[in-house]
């Protein structure tokens, strides 16, 4: 099957390559999971009891549980959108300090959100476990969806922290490398000797000695002692 050239150009375009990045996919999943968490409890999280018309949170009538899930889900969703926008402009920046600071911030926030969603998952599951059965007419399916995707959010934010840590390790500047033999500093780039570069070549003559080491290190040659000559008596 022959693929048209236009589709090949589309597949090789910068936008498609950006969407295929693991970091972009992870952020997209994290944003979708956060959207499900806060939208589920925002729409069906507050219900009235069978004997009252007042709205209560379906999580054990604890409004802190619904407020936490809605607030954390909304902030995580906005965070994913902001980092997606920054990822799109990251390749256009040439400052290494900005990239390092951005990757460090990405790692810190990803680890922080993983911890927040872990606490949120435990809190939501605990409140739902202590909720009375059939106390509310609706909202049970929304709570289960929020708890499930809160758990998935832990995994996806841990994966984002891992990707950010890998970027920090790969882009960290390495000024030199240590030798494994003697612990000395190994020069990674050496300029080759050119034919026109001056080399201290030894000259040979009837009264001179040539040393092969003088071409390598002219400062290590031993100076010649002056010779004494005997003058005949007149």
Per DSSP, the residues of 22-69 read HHHHHHHHHHHHHHHHHHHHHHHSEEEBTT--SEEETTTT-HHHHHHH
Is residue 222 very low, low, confident or very high in pLDDT (cuts 50, 70, 90)? Answer: low
- Which residue, 32, 27, 31, is CA-closest to 86? 27
Alpha carbons 136 and 49: distance in angstroms, whole number: 5
Residues 6+ apart with CB under 8 A from 172: 100
Alpha carbons 127 and 69: distance in angstroms, whole number: 12
Return phi, psi of residue 49, to 5°: -75, 170
Alpha carbons 169 and 203: distance in angstroms, whole number: 53
Which range in 50-54, 64-68, 151-155, 221-225 is most confidently predicted, on average pLDDT?
151-155
pLDDT in tens, 62-82: 888 889 999 999 999 999 999
pLDDT cut 70: percent of the chain above it: 60
Given this model, what pLDDT does residue 46 score?
A: 79
pLDDT cut 90: percent of the chain above it: 33
- What number of other Cβ atoms are within 10 A of residue 40's Cβ? 23
Is residue 229 very low, low, confident or very high in pLDDT (cuts 50, 70, 90)? Answer: low
Given this model, what pLDDT does residue 172 score?
A: 54
What does the domain layout of the chain look like in residue ranges?
24-88+96-176
Please answer whether residues 204 and 210 qualify as being in contact, where contact means their C-beta atoms are separated by less than 8 angstroms: yes
Helical ranges in the chain per DSSP H: 5-11, 14-19, 22-44, 63-90, 96-129, 140-171
Residues 6+ apart with CB under 8 A from 219: none
pLDDT in tens, 87-138: 887 767 667 788 888 889 999 999 999 999 999 999 999 998 887 766 665 6
pLDDT in tens, 9-63: 655 667 778 788 889 999 999 999 999 998 988 887 777 666 667 777 888 878 8
* Mean pLDDT of all residues in 184-213: 47
DSSP class of residue 185 equals: E
Alpha carbons 138 and 134: distance in angstroms, whole number: 9
Given this model, what pLDDT does residue 140 score?
A: 77
Position 179 pLDDT exceeds 80: no
Alpha carbons 139 and 40: distance in angstroms, whole number: 9
- Which residue, 161, 166, 171, 23, is CA-closest to 96? 171
């Amino acid at each position: 099957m022959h693929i048209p050239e236009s589709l090949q150009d589309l597949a090789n375009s910068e936008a498609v390559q950006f969407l295929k990045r693991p970091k972009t996919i992870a952020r997209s999943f994290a944003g979708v999971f956060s959207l499900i968490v806060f939208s589920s409890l925002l729409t069906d999280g507050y219900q009235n009891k069978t004997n009252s018309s007042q709205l209560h949170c379906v999580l054990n009538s604890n409004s802190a549980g619904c407020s936490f899930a809605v607030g954390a889900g909304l902030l995580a969703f906005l965070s994913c959108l902001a980092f997606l926008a920054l990822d799109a402009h990251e390749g256009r920046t040439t400052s290494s300090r900005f990239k390092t600071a951005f990757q460090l911030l990405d790692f810190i926030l990803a680890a922080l959100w993983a911890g927040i969603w872990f606490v949120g998952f435990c809190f939501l599951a605990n409140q739902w476990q202590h909720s009375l059965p059939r106390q509310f007419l609706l909202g049970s399916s929304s709570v289960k969806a929020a708890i499930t995707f809160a758990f998935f959010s832990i995994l996806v934010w841990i994966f984002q922290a891992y990707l950010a840590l890998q970027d920090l390790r790969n882009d960290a500047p390495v000024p030199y490398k240590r030798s494994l033999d003697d612990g000395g500093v190994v020069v990674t780039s050496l300029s080759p000797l050119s034919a026109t570069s001056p080399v201290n070549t030894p000259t040979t003559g009837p009264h001179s000695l040539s040393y092969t080491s003088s071409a390598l290190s002219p400062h290590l040659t031993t100076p010649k002692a002056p010779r004494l000559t005997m003058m005949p008596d007149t």
